[in-house]
Amino acid sequence: MEQYIIKGGNPLNGRVSIGGAKNAALGILAAAIMTDETVTIENVPNVRDTRVLLQAIEGIGAKVKYVYNNSVQINGGSICDMNVDYEYIKKIRASYYLLGALLGKYKKSEVALPGGCNIGSRPIDQHIKGFKALGVEVDISHGKIFAKADKLVGGHVYFDMVTVGATINLMLAACLAEGDTILENAAKEPHIVDVANFLNAMGANIKGAGTDVIRIRGVNRLHGTTYSIIPDQIEAGTFMFAAACTRGDVVVQDVIPKHLESISAKLIEVGCQVIEGDDWVRVIGCENLKSTNVKTLPYPGFPTDMQPQMAAVLALADGTSMVTESIFENRFKYVDELNRMGCKIKVEGNTAYIEGIEQMSGTQMAAPDLRAGAALVIAALSADGVSEIEDIEYIQRGYEDFDGKLRTLGAVIERVDSERDAQKVKLKIG
């Protein structure tokens, strides 16, 4: 199994280019099958989640052509199977976007029920409630969702909670329905807007994305287009927090600063300098980080996908901080690993109470999930000594060339896939 070997203590310095947004790409790649014409999508992050979804798209018969590293062409004209196998859903739950896309285009689909994951049970009741509002018959049996409709008719959906996945899935299903669909209490994340913009570039008629009311007027067909995905706000935020943790000076470039506002605001609160350009943000760390409190919220609030990375920064702040997770019920699994690095964090309910320490100490760890894994990496970069992080395939789900980009900033980090190589690297960097 691959692992990272990290020697902490080097402040990160320099510029790093941020890739396309994973959580926009997953909705957009699924949406691309809704036309029989060729769609070219650029700035696709080359990460495990997008690769698996593209395999699922090929699995139902669509044509996928990798133009070059971060661009793909998809043609949904040859789709012959409406059934998305469990093997894909098990690997990446966002394969369920194919349910909305296939329903929208073919009025039927069978998709394996996604299970929970390390951060929570993550039910999909709101997706199903929305499909039913469009006239879809949904039957769940033997771990599969069977959905079909004679025709999809626009409906009015009020989500019981703000849900990114259901907002995207319903935009997909509704854009070819007959009549108007209104989604209320819709998610407003940048990736929601990006999926809506992509669908509109294919000829859909979606208004209000980015607000909590999205109006979709069904059209008869969608056509091919070329589209470039927005930058990944969470990848950018992760490098910004790595600068804070290591007291470095890092510029994240090819970003949309507006999408990073809640992240930048927290960095300023803890004492860092943040300088914004048109498509870059510079973070200058400070010697004495200040404690603060954070509560995760739907956009434009502080993103839950930055919660573990925030805790890693606050673990080094003077005083006691509170981190409250309001989106998922089990997103503190990284706390035990940080405490093994000498941190003093206590979790009670959905709040972590963090008593700042001078410096963490490197040790062996395992990534519990994608963003927790990223948090352990930035903690290890600040720590005294060498750390080994296992189960890094979680991290590779959402970060392209993570260790390579960190090395360009001066990090001492190597990716190894054998104990023998691990020993060699530890001798070299120890």
**What residues are annotated to the active site?**
117
Residues in the chain, overall count: 430
Which of 327, 335, 345, 383 is the binder for ligand EPZ (CB under 6 A)? 327
Q: Can residue 306 be called a binding residue for ligand EPZ (CB under 6 A)?
A: no
- Phi–psi pair at 209, nearest 5 degrees: -60, 135
3-state helix, strand, coil in the chain (%, to 5): 35, 30, 35
Q: For the CB of residue 166, give the shortest distance to ligand EPZ in the complex, in Å.
A: 5
E strand segments, 314-372: 320-324, 344-348, 351-355, 364-366
Q: Can residue 132 be called a binding residue for ligand EPZ (CB under 6 A)?
A: no
The DSSP output letter for 409 is T
Q: Can residue 124 be called a binding residue for ligand EPZ (CB under 6 A)?
A: yes
Q: Can residue 262 be called a binding residue for ligand EPZ (CB under 6 A)?
A: no
Q: Can residue 166 be called a binding residue for ligand EPZ (CB under 6 A)?
A: yes
Q: For the CB of residue 223, give the shortest distance to ligand EPZ in the complex, in Å.
A: 26
Q: Any residues with CB less than 8 A from the CB of 53 and at least 6 apart, and which?
A: 26, 29, 30, 88, 92, 94, 95, 97
Give the ranges where 251-356 is alpha helix by DSSP (H): 261-269, 307-314, 334-340
- Phi–psi pair at 2, nearest 5 degrees: -70, 150
E strand segments, 88-234: 108-112, 137-141, 144-148, 156-158, 180-184, 206-207, 213-217, 226-228
Identify which range of 115-123, 247-255, 274-282, 347-355 contacts ligand EPZ by CB under 6 A. 115-123
Is the CB of 26 or the CB of 343 nearer to ligand EPZ? 26
Which of 328, 332, 394, 399 is the binder for ligand EPZ (CB under 6 A)? 328
Q: Can residue 53 be called a binding residue for ligand EPZ (CB under 6 A)?
A: no
Count of residues interacting with ligand EPZ (CB under 6 A)? 24
Distance CA 21, CA 370 (A): 14
Distance CA 289, CA 269 (A): 9
User: Exposure of 118 by Cβ count < 10 A (0-12 exposed, 13-18 middle, 19+ buried)?
Assistant: middle
Identify which range of 125-133, 171-179, 240-248, 406-414 contacts ligand EPZ by CB under 6 A. 125-133
Element (H, E) at 414: strand 412-416
Which of 232, 305, 325, 414 is the binder for ligand EPZ (CB under 6 A)? 305
Q: Can residue 26 be called a binding residue for ligand EPZ (CB under 6 A)?
A: yes
Q: Can residue 210 be called a binding residue for ligand EPZ (CB under 6 A)?
A: no
Identify which range of 11-19, 38-46, 78-86, 156-164 contacts ligand EPZ by CB under 6 A. 156-164
Give the residue nearest to ligand EPZ (CB): 165
Coil vs helix vs strand at 413: strand
Q: For the CB of residue 408, give the shortest distance to ligand EPZ in the complex, in Å.
A: 23
Is the CB of 94 or the CB of 171 nearer to ligand EPZ? 94
Upstream peptide bond of 300 is cis (omega within 30 degrees of 0): yes
Is the CB of 291 or the CB of 396 nearer to ligand EPZ? 396
User: Exposure of 184 by Cβ count < 10 A (0-12 exposed, 13-18 middle, 19+ buried)?
Assistant: exposed
Q: Can residue 370 be called a binding residue for ligand EPZ (CB under 6 A)?
A: yes
Is the CB of 234 or the CB of 274 nearer to ligand EPZ? 234
Q: Can residue 295 be called a binding residue for ligand EPZ (CB under 6 A)?
A: no
Pairing of strands 213-217, 249-253: unpaired
Q: For the CB of residue 264, give the shortest distance to ligand EPZ in the complex, in Å.
A: 18
Is the CB of 187 or the CB of 214 nearer to ligand EPZ? 187
Pairing of strands 144-148, 137-141: antiparallel
Which of 165, 224, 356, 373 is the binder for ligand EPZ (CB under 6 A)? 165
Q: For the CB of residue 74, give the shortest distance to ligand EPZ in the complex, in Å.
A: 18
Per the CB < 8 A criterion, the answer to whether 417 and 388 are in contact is: no
Which of 108, 122, 217, 340 is the binder for ligand EPZ (CB under 6 A)? 122
Residues near ligand EPZ (CB under 6 A)? 22-23, 26, 94, 120, 122-127, 161, 163-166, 187, 304-305, 327-328, 370-371, 398
